[in-house]
Amino acid sequence: MENYITEAIKKDSLAALKTLVDVPSYLEQGNTNEIRKPFGEGIDRALKAALALCETLGMNTFCDPNGYYGYADYGEGEETVGVLCHLDVVPEGDRAKWDTDPFVATEKEGVLYGRGTQDDKGPTIAALYGFKALVDAGQTFNRKIRFVFGTDEENLWRCMEAYKQNEKMPDMGFVPDSAFPLTYAEKGLLQFKLTGPGSEKLSLNCSGALNVVPAVATYDGNKQQDLAQILEKQGTSFEQNEKELVVFGKAVHASTAFEGVNAITRLVAGLAEFQLHPMLSFIAEKVSQETNGFRIFGEVEDEMTGELTFNVASLVIYAHTSEMMVDMRIPVSYYQEDLVRRLKEVISEYQLTYQTYDALPSLYVPKDSQLVETLMNIYREKTGDMQEPLTAGGATYARTMPNMVAFGAHLPGSPSLAHQENEGIILEDFYLAMDIYAEAIYQLCCQ
């Protein structure tokens, strides 16, 4: 297999990635109703920048007039290979924990730091410049390639719903938004809200992104000393000042909640010792520090994709209402409807009600399919790594269209920093992924 990645391609791709990282393209809730900028100014800027870049690469571009998505095409042929990317990112988190400005791409000791370098601007640019390397090498595209740029992946995927309503689906393709070697099965996603009574005695405001295990949870009530004593006995990490008590956890992506520490459930474990409230009782008794929902559902696990993950992402308690948001990843052999039915039975004992916030089906493409075998052979040839294709709890755009898989760009053994402070991509990994994508596009589009 040829390596198409020249020094010029490396230089240009790095400059392009820096340009995208410098755009703070996270959801701005206040602007979501603005015409043509439904997710805010930053995301709109990132979309326009990506499409402008594609035009410089010789592609034909289209921007949805309502601002939900864009795409860039190249080549001829009746069949289309899709590369599904996203340009939105999660917010920076705790800026004090960053060693660099999260929205100023900073190169240090062979690593490019900045929000989106791993998820998903870095992989997007790697795939784009893998394509550009083929064009520069004079390869003929017998199939059309289409890069689709989503703008709401970190939230409700409204971008892909709009795309599917308005555009033709690719015949096959991949999503550079996961890990190598390849993900052929993804758990189902269910995000939901539980609502309960309010409280005149307790006020909490622990909000956060649904797909992140919360790293901090704050209590500013008048029983901080009682809480501190309990948390200390429980071995929970916290700090206390004159105004509030802050419990600390470890933020990770919700799909790997078992690798993190949930600050909210840790805080509740202490509060439930002396504060009576249905929401606290439910979390303390039916969730605790478990991340697999066992106390609610029993064992939910299959051989292909492992066990269920259950992440309490936010908790608010006000005078007149209380709300909890939960992210759940479901093994591919289980049905969401069955689990929701069981959940409703359990929460009824705590005066709580259920409402679906977002739901996505699972992904499954057979390992012996031509698409999976082609991409796996490329990865193995380029890296020498013979491991088997993967299953995952994370949700990628691959599940939105038929005959799609998640393919890179995170390499085995490299730090996984998506959604965390000091997110960065090792440049040698970036260029290797670009080489892999170039060969993948060549075999899917040019042969």
3-state secondary structure 148-196: EEECCCCCCCHHHHHHHHHCCCCCEEEECCEECCCEEEECEEEEEEEEE
Using DSSP bridges, classify how beta strands 183-186 and 390-392 pair: parallel, antiparallel or unpaired: parallel
Q: Using one digit for the tens of pLDDT, what is the confidence trace for 171-224?
A: 999 999 999 999 999 999 999 999 999 999 999 999 988 889 999 999 999 899
Note the pLDDT tens digit of each residue in 380-395. 999 999 999 999 887 8
Whether 285 and 340 map to the same domain: the answer is yes
| Domain span holding position 327 | 188-360
Do residues 112 and 425 lie in contact, with contact meaning Cβ atoms separated by under 8 Å?
A: yes
Q: Which residues pair with 301 in a beta bridge?
A: 307
Whether residue 2 is contained in a domain is answered as no
**In residues, how long is the chain?**
447
Domain boundary among 332, 360, 388: 360
Token readout for 317 is 């308690």
Examine the domain organization and report whether 400 and 307 are in the same domain. Answer: no
- What pLDDT, on the 0 to 100 scale, is given for residue 211? 85
Q: How many domains does the chain have?
A: 2
123 in any annotated domain = yes
Question: What's the CATH code of the domain at 123?
Answer: 3.40.630.10
The verdict on residue 303 lying in a domain is yes
Domain edge (last residue) among 341, 360, 379 = 360
Asked if residue 1 is part of any domain, the answer here is no
The answer to whether residues 60 and 183 belong to one domain is: yes
Is the pLDDT at 33 greater than 60? The verdict is no
CATH number at residue 211: 3.30.70.360
**Same domain flag for 344 and 375:** no
Crossing angle between the packed helical segments 121-136 and 7-21, to the nearest 10 degrees: 150
Scan for tokens 């409700």, then name that residue: 156
What is residue 395's predicted lDDT score, i.e. its pLDDT?
Answer: 84
Whether 92 is covered by a domain: the verdict is yes
Same domain as 39, residue 70 = yes
Tokens for 71? 């795409």
Instruction: Note whether 242 and 125 are same-domain residues.
Output: no
Q: Which residues of 109-135 are buried (b: 16+ CB within 10 A; e: fewer)?
A: eebbbbbbbbbbbbbbbbbbbbbbbbb
> Does 321 lie in the same domain as 261?
yes
Same domain, 441 and 331: no
Residues 223-233 pLDDT 10s? 999 999 999 99
Taking the alpha carbons at both ends of the chain, their separation in whole angstroms is 13
Last residue of a domain, one of 360, 386, 418: 360
**0.85 exceeded by pTM:** no
Residue 30: which pLDDT band, with cuts at 50, 70 and 90? low
Same structural domain, 309 and 386: no
Identify the band that residue 35 occupies on the pLDDT scale cut at 50, 70 and 90: low
- Is residue 226 domain-shared with residue 86, that is, in the same domain? no
313 and 199 inside one domain:
yes
Question: Is residue 101 situated within a structural domain?
Answer: yes
Supply 100's token pair. Answer: 């660099």
Please report whether residue 160 resides in a domain.
yes
Q: What percentage of the chain reaches a pLDDT higher than 90? A: 92
Q: pLDDT (tens digit, 9 = 90+) per residue, 372-426?
A: 999 999 999 999 999 999 998 878 999 999 999 999 999 999 999 998 999 999 9
Any domain includes 183: yes
Paired residues of 86 in beta bridges: 150
Q: Is 21 found in the same domain as 170? A: yes
Cα–chain center distance at 420: 11
pLDDT of residue 393: 84
